[in-house]
């Protein structure tokens, strides 16, 4: 790809940002679509997000992704926030406007598209959401909006689960959410559940752990989704698979939040399914390559 004077610049702000696969994905989209747009990683220290957004605007940066730890802090530095992002309480995509950036959250759309593609139906289903952090908020929003019959929210700190449950029920005018401590899963009577794992437990380099390690839990599940994609099969997914559940890792969520962001920055573009599939293959190859390197 040739960068020239007319190239649009997008990027990701985060800390750390070195391991982000977003530059690879977005530059691949641009190359394949023949768009004059480049995407770069920007390391932004905690507390510096306001300056970064102001600087980005002054530098005529076209759009940004926002990752840990800035997804909430960035919200006060924007000229507008999309309704969904406001409801979720986190922004992961900035779209340039005349007077600043408007914030969006494409994680919710990412998780929904990934689940639908994996054949995981939400409507009418009992769902068990593990975690109450940033990723959990996007997942809870999707599960309630897509009319889950029940959403059990389990988290290590119960107050956070209670806060999220109350917030989602208030937002959608429902009473489907129930907060619980992690160990209280035994109180869940339903079977054939869809579990969505959003905690950081099991993520590389701490693979080999699952937030719930009792096999009996996994026998309650028909389907298990893990927001983690490295490793590609977490212990959570391995245990769910062993119990006979359909499983899906977080790669599709990563891919589709990126697709949605790219389409927000380029409203005239729709990324074809075939291109998304090739981007997924590249992400997998990259992640497998990194694991091989790690073993040496």
Which residues of this chain interact with ligand ATR, rule CB under 6 A? 131-136, 155-157, 160, 198-201, 211
The residue number with the shortest CB distance to ligand ATR is 133
- Bridge-based pairing of strands 93-97 and 63-66 is antiparallel
Residue pair 66/94 in contact by the 8 Å Cβ criterion: yes
For ligand ATR, which is the closer residue by CB, 198 or 247? Answer: 198
Name the DSSP letter for residue 3.
-
Residue pair 72/66 in contact by the 8 Å Cβ criterion: no
For ligand ATR, which is the closer residue by CB, 61 or 108? Answer: 108
Q: Count Cβ atoms within 10 A of the Cβ of residue 191 and give its class: 0-12 exposed, 13-18 middle, 19 or more buried.
A: exposed
Question: What is the nearest approach in angstroms of ligand ATR to the Cβ of residue 30?
Answer: 27
Question: What is the nearest approach in angstroms of ligand ATR to the Cβ of residue 16?
Answer: 13
Question: What is the nearest approach in angstroms of ligand ATR to the Cβ of residue 3?
Answer: 32
Residue pair 261/58 in contact by the 8 Å Cβ criterion: no
For ligand ATR, which is the closer residue by CB, 183 or 191? Answer: 183
As beta bridge partners, residue 225 has 196, 248
Question: What is the nearest approach in angstroms of ligand ATR to the Cβ of residue 135?
Answer: 4
Residues with catalytic function: 71
For ligand ATR, which is the closer residue by CB, 37 or 128? Answer: 128
Residue 61 token pair: 């940066």
What is the spatial distance between Cα 117 and Cα 140, in angstroms, rounded to a whole number?
A: 18
């Amino acid at each position: 790809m040739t960068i020239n004077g007319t190239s649009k610049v997008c990027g990701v702000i985060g800390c750390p940002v070195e391991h982000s696969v977003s530059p690879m994905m977005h530059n691949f989209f641009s190359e394949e679509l023949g768009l004059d747009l480049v995407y770069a990683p920007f390391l932004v220290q905690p507390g510096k997000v306001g300056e970064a957004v102001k600087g980005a605007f002054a530098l005529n940066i076209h759009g940004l992704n926002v990752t840990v730890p800035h997804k909430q802090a960035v919200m006060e530095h924007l000229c507008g926030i999309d309704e969904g992002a406001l409801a979720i309480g986190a922004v992961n995509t900035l779209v340039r406007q005349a007077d600043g950036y408007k914030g969006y959250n494409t994680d919710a759309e990412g998780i929904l598209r990934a689940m639908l593609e994996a054949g995981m139906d939400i409507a009418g289903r009992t769902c068990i959401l593990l975690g109450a952090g940033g990723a959990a908020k996007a997942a809870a929003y999707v599960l309630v909006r897509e009319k889950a019959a029940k959403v059990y929210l389990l988290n290590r700190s119960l107050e956070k689960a209670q806060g999220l449950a109350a917030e989602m029920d208030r937002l959608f005018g429902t009473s489907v959410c129930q907060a619980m401590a992690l160990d209280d899963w035994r109180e869940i009577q339903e079977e054939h559940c869809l579990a969505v794992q959003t905690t950081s437990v099991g993520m590389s380099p701490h693979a080999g752990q699952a937030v719930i390690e009792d096999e009996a839990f996994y026998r309650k599940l028909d389907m298990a989704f893990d927001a983690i994609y490295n490793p590609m099969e977490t212990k959570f997914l391995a245990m769910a698979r062993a119990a006979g559940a359909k499983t899906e890792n977080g790669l599709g969520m990563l891919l589709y939040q990126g697709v949605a962001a790219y389409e927000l920055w380029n409203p005239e573009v729709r990324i074809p399914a075939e291109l998304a599939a090739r981007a997924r293959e590249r992400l997998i190859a990259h992640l497998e390559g990194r694991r091989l390197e790690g073993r040496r």
